[in-house]
Amino acid sequence: MSKFVIQGPQKLSGEIAVAGAKNMALKVLPAALLLNGKSILSNMPQIRDVATMIEIMKGLGANVEQNGSEVIVDPSSLSSSQISGTLSGQARTSIMIVASLLHRFGKATIGHPGGCVIGRRPIDQFLEGFQALGVTVTDTGEGYYFSADNLKGTTYFFPFVSVTATETLMLTAVKIPGTTVLKNAACEPEVKALADYLVSCGAKIEGAGTNTIRIEGVSKLNAMPCEMIPDRLETGMFAVLAAATRSPLKITRCNPEHIESLLTIFSKIGISYKQGKDWLFLPEQSGIYRSPGKIITHEYPGFATDLQPPLTVLLTQSEGLTLVHETIFEGRLFYVDLLNRMGANIILCDPHRALVQGPTPLRGKKIESPDIRAGIAMVIAGLIANGETTIDNIYQIERGYEKLDERLKALGAIIERKE
Ligand code: EPU
């Protein structure tokens, strides 16, 4: 098992370029299976989750070539409609492939989709939405069998806002005759980016980026080049890292507009920053950090649940009591025990709420990375803690962040990746 060994406390400095968005790449790859011709996908993050998705697509017979941050997908050789349970268990977004397989083969089989261990991760809305679009869904015990028996446009209201369910139904509907209206849809920038890409390929989609998406089915979609938008979660993470380590950092190739909710919280804490269209600069911070009182995770454009663990590390360095209210996932606060082991003073009130009392100095410890975002929070904690922090199970971190140790070293961090 690989691990990171970090020496803290560390001040960093310099410039860091943000990678392409993981949560766009993982949706554009399955979408490419629906298109006629080869898709050239650029600014793809070189991370494990993308590698897993490519492995699944190759397993179905697609020809996928990866050359650095460029991936070329040729779906003409697709030969199977069965996604193995072992692979689908590693990637929740494997369920998006079902959309493409339904149009290619009229059927699809999938094991139960996995993903980060941050809650129950149900797929009820995918199943209900597929059924509303005329797909017959059979629970096989080990997974699901989908059959495109009577595809038809529909109106579907999501009982909960779901990013991947919105994207999956949108992808399914683009080639279904008639009109589909998705209500209470997710508004995340990655949803809009996927829609923009599909529209460039010939799809008819209106309203993506708002909570009502209207789709007119078309019969043919032709592959077009697609560039991933900057990863807003990586942008926010680097901004928190700069603030927590009080390091001057310029974050480039990003879109600060996508993290407005985080920047609003920064202002309450007393963190200064400057922003341009595609950059964000945090100067070396000298003032006292104040508690923002409470932070509440929310669907976009609210404060992203994926930025909650890194921000909580920063809150341990802010004066006062902060309520962290995680509204999206019921398993995304358990990492606070790890921070407490490092010296933080956090009370987990229930699976959705924690009280952080700061400021508390942190001490280096040997810990494990529970999931991508809690894992990166541990890296930030290690960089501000006194002494050595060892983070095991960095497989989880590397699912979402590209060459993290190399990029942090370039900023002056003392971090080693060890087997
Ligand atoms: N939900 C249901 N039923 C469903 C689908 C979702 O009840 O059928 C619930 C979930 O249990 C959760 C809420 O709806 O409580 C929102 O989940 P959502 O479906 O939006 O999450 P997701 O699409 O599986 C994506 C990102 C996550 C991010 C969430 C929330 C990708 C690949 N993943 O997940 O990112 O946390 O949206 O913004 O896009 C990450 O990058 O580390 C990550 C976990």
For ligand 1, atom 19: residue with the closest CA:
162
Question: 40-49, 119-128, 139-148, 283-292: which has the minimum mean pLDDT?
Answer: 119-128
Show which residues are catalytic: 116
Answer whether residue 384 shows pLDDT above 90.
yes
Mutate to test the pocket of ligand 1, among 23, 137, 371 (most ligand atoms within 8 A of CB): 23
Give 117's pLDDT tier (boundaries 50, 70, 90). low
- pLDDT at residue 116, as a whole number: 64
- Asked if residue 52 has its Cβ within 6 Å of ligand 1, the reply is no
DSSP 319-362: BEEEEEE--S-TTSSTTHHHHHHTT-EEEEEETTEEEEEE----
Answer whether residue 119 shows pLDDT above 80.
no
- pLDDT at residue 88, as a whole number: 83
Taking the centre of ligand 1 as the mean of its atom positions, its distance from the CA of residue 165, in whole angstroms, is 8
Answer whether residue 89 shows pLDDT above 90.
no
Torsion of CA 93, 96, 100, 101, to 10 degrees: 80
For ligand 1, atom 18: residue with the closest CA:
162
Taking the centre of ligand 1 as the mean of its atom positions, its distance from the CA of residue 304, in whole angstroms, is 11
Q: Distance between CA atoms of 176 and 172, rounded to whole angstroms?
A: 7
Give 149's pLDDT tier (boundaries 50, 70, 90). confident
- pLDDT cut 70: percent of the chain above it: 99
Taking the centre of ligand 1 as the mean of its atom positions, its distance from the CA of residue 97, in whole angstroms, is 16
For ligand 1, atom 33: residue with the closest CA:
23
- Asked if residue 306 has its Cβ within 6 Å of ligand 1, the reply is yes
Give 90's pLDDT tier (boundaries 50, 70, 90). confident
Residue at 91: amino acid letter: A
Closest alpha carbon to 168 in 143, 201, 219, 132: 132
Q: Which atom of ligand 1 is nearest to the CA of 328?
A: 15
- pLDDT cut 90: percent of the chain above it: 93
- Asked if residue 122 has its Cβ within 6 Å of ligand 1, the reply is yes
pLDDT per position as a tens digit, 6-34: 999 989 999 999 999 999 999 999 999 99
- Asked if residue 302 has its Cβ within 6 Å of ligand 1, the reply is no
Q: Distance between CA atoms of 309 and 326, rounded to whole angstroms?
A: 10
pLDDT per position as a tens digit, 242-262: 999 999 999 999 999 999 999
pLDDT per position as a tens digit, 184-229: 999 999 999 999 999 999 999 999 999 999 999 999 999 999 999 9
- pLDDT at residue 15, as a whole number: 98
Cβ pair 170, 194 in contact under 8 A: yes
